[in-house]
Amino acid sequence: MQNIDKIIDKWNADPDYVIEMMQDIQDELRHTPREALEQITKRTKVPLARLYHIATFYKSFSLTPQGIHKIQVCTGTACHVKGAPNILDAFARELEIKIGETTEDGKYTLDEVRCLGCCSLAPVVMINDDVYGNLTTKKIKSLLEKYK
């Protein structure tokens, strides 16, 4: 809770900055736990329901712990046509998790996204801030090796 209070203090417990507080908490803990939301409510007087609305509306927040490496497989139109469903399935098999889950060791979270804005590179995957285009299922094992 001390880290949560430090983050809230950084923003002077100003209710106008609850999203920024939540972003900092998300960055530090890789999720936004209920206890953190309750502490923000206590310190800023912003209703807990409002914080949950924010946490569930924005894709950048997660109420459950996320992996160190976030894998986002684009399944937008261009990527879908070029085999994104197969890429997504291959990641799920390799990591032994389903879409939206995190590996038991906390290293990887697998997500499906509708567009990464790189349609000319389809199919595209983003791991953390790294973008990989023209991906094939054969490249997945070697790609994951970079993040071990």
Q: Is 103 inside any structural domain?
A: yes
CATH number at residue 94: 3.40.30.10
Residue type, 111: D
Tokens 């939540």 sit on residue: 22
Q: Do residue 84 and residue 126 come from a single domain?
A: yes
Domain count, the chain: 2
pTM: 0.80
Domain boundary among 12, 33, 57: 57
> pLDDT, tens digit, for every residue of 76-117?
999 999 999 999 999 999 999 999 999 999 999 999 999 999
Q: What is the DSSP string of 77-90?
A: HHHHHTTHHHHHHH
Domain boundary among 16, 32, 57: 57
Q: Do residue 52 and residue 111 come from a single domain?
A: no
> What domain range includes position 43?
2-57
Q: Is 63 inside any structural domain?
A: no
> pLDDT, tens digit, for every residue of 28-84?
999 999 999 999 999 999 999 999 999 999 988 999 999 999 999 999 999 999 999
